[in-house]
Amino acid sequence: MASIFSRPLDLVYFIYFITHILAAVLIDTYPVYKSFAPNALTSLNQWYIENFNDPFFVKNPTWFVSCLYIEALSIPLFIYAAIGLLKAVSRARHTFLVQSKRILRLISFTTHLKSLYGLIYASSLMSDYEVTLVNDNMQEFYVRFHGPEDTPFSGGVWKVHVELPDQYPFKSPSIGFMNKIFHPNIDELSGSVCLDVINQTWSPMFDMINIFEVFLPQLLRYPNPTDPLNGEAAALLMREPHTYEVKVKEYVSRFATKEAADAATDESSSSDEVSSVDTYSDEDESPDMDI
């Protein structure tokens, strides 16, 4: 059990109780009390009796003075109690913040599970992609992504690296193509992605299925050459669209086969930076992009 000195409110109550007992004893020994009672208190006592004619204080004139003494002695005690209360509130607030962080981590953990296993469940229903964990880490995994039909990327298979930040889904995941792809908004060497078409629109409502069923297919269908990561692809798309399609298909046949996707590893791109889909914009040209 903690000492009473570590519990300021209890200590104040104890001292306040003792003060009242001592005051009562002091009243019973009136001659002693009267000898050191200040004139101001004695005069105040007389004024109270004369104006209010309180029968109790008329009969026991020293009680009023003793009450004033008790209240005067209680002021520092209540100040001490107030300080103790503020400290207790501060500790409670700190505890609340710590618990809030734990709750947020739990929510993030649950969201990771929901997003990852939602993607795995969807992949079990469709043959468009499959998910492979990296070292059994649910925040880092590979997704086998197929190029959308009716585009030059049709028939291509890419291994996409995904990393979920601790702040997910409030912060967008980091993604990167492991095997080469020829696209204006995807860096050919690093595989980093500029999802300009969904810039500034990332929401906690989005998940991995949105990225692989909507965002990436839309990016491949409708490239944006005005905000490129691959300048050669952007220039070719704007000047010679037919030649651009031919080169896209050439990359698909050379680098986007199932075997190429299986062979793509972190070692083959160890010098590459994995992109984030959360910070590419006209105002911020950093490697990560908020969506």
Please identify every residue annotated as catalytic: 194
Cα gap 33→20, rounded to integer Å:
14
Closest CA to 230 of 214, 248, 246, 215: 248
Closest CA to 159 of 187, 186, 181, 139: 181
CA dihedral 195, 200, 205, 208 (to 10 degrees): 10
Query: Which helix (H) or strand (E) is 78 found in, with range?
Result: helix 61-125
The residue behind tokens 């409030």 is 170
Helix and strand element counts for the chain (H, E): 10, 7
Burial of 33 (0-12, 13-18, 19+ CB in 10 A): middle
Concatenate the DSSP letters of all residues of 79-98 into one string: HHHHHHHHHHHHHHHHHHHH
Concatenate the DSSP letters of all residues of 247-284 into one string: HHHHHHHHH-SHHHHHH--TGGGTTSPPEETTEESSS-
